[in-house]
Amino acid sequence: MKNRERFIVSSIFAVLMFGWLGFLLHVSSDFAGSGLGAVFGISGAVLMLVPLVYVFMKRIPFFKEHFIKYVSLQTWLTIHIYTGIVGALLALIHTGHKYNSPLGIALTATMLLVVVTGYVLRYLTPFVNLDMKDKLLLLQTARGDLDSAWGVLEKSAAEKKGLPKAPLLTAGLDSLGLSFASDSPAGQVTTLAVGVADLEYSIRTHELLKRWFARALTAHIVLSVAMYALLAAHIAAGIYFGLRWLP
């Protein structure tokens, strides 16, 4: 189920990422104001409002207490994802690739950024967290092996002479798969030390990525608020300019 969801959402995501560039090939000056264009626009706006339900369910205790027992939070998250990205696709079609209005351009750009940050949080963050757990376990095991190998080496002064004279060069060659370490205790210590150093560097990199993903969550929330504000302004402008002929 998750693989199917990932495939469907990723496909729509790819269409959105390249679809907005359609103005380079095609621009419809009157599609957004036509009957069919209005259907796409209204449908997209309604679908983009549905994701707010998940926010209410997750953040507001009253909704969490009374409604989640009927429909799980995970189900609401799935609805949040599908309606958000399909709504964005319908809204993009609604534009007809006509980007003349500053309000429309700002709304389209913000909408796409919301989709990008949401996609990253949903489908990339879990891989980083899972990989981090695996590497922490490997690091713990590697440090234990290194301590054991170093203990064996400490018992023999002769074996210490087998340690490399240029550890940085040895580490560099080992990282390229060109290690010349032997099966002696000194060679094992060198190999394990390089492995531990590589794992520690990789974990620090993952921690940096986690901080960036945390910022992506903040950006997703801020951009979502901005998008809904722009959407409200866009709807208000559409009603005003579309209905101003009424008495």
Residue 156 to residue 185: CA distance in whole angstroms: 9
Evaluate whether 196 touches 141 at the Cβ level (below 8 Å): no
Give me the mean pLDDT over the 163-191 stretch: 50
Evaluate whether 204 touches 136 at the Cβ level (below 8 Å): no
In this structure, how many other beta carbons lie within 10 angstroms of the beta carbon of residue 112?
19
Residue 177 to residue 182: CA distance in whole angstroms: 14
Is it the case that residue 186 has pLDDT exceeding 60?
Answer: no
The three-class DSSP label of residue 18 is: helix
Q: How far is CA 204 from CA 4, 201, 211, in A?
A: 32, 5, 11
Give me the mean pLDDT over the 69-73 stretch: 80
Residues 6+ apart with CB under 8 A from 209: 128
Considering only residues 46 and 150, tell me which one the structure prediction assigns the higher pLDDT: 46
Q: How is residue 191 written in tokens?
A: 């190999």
Is it the case that residue 123 has pLDDT exceeding 70?
Answer: yes
**Half-sphere exposure at residue 228, Cβ-oriented, CA atoms within 13 angstroms:** 13
Residue 8 to residue 3: CA distance in whole angstroms: 9
Considering only residues 164 and 64, tell me which one the structure prediction assigns the higher pLDDT: 64
Q: How is residue 92 written in tokens?
A: 């993009």
Amino acid of residue 100: N
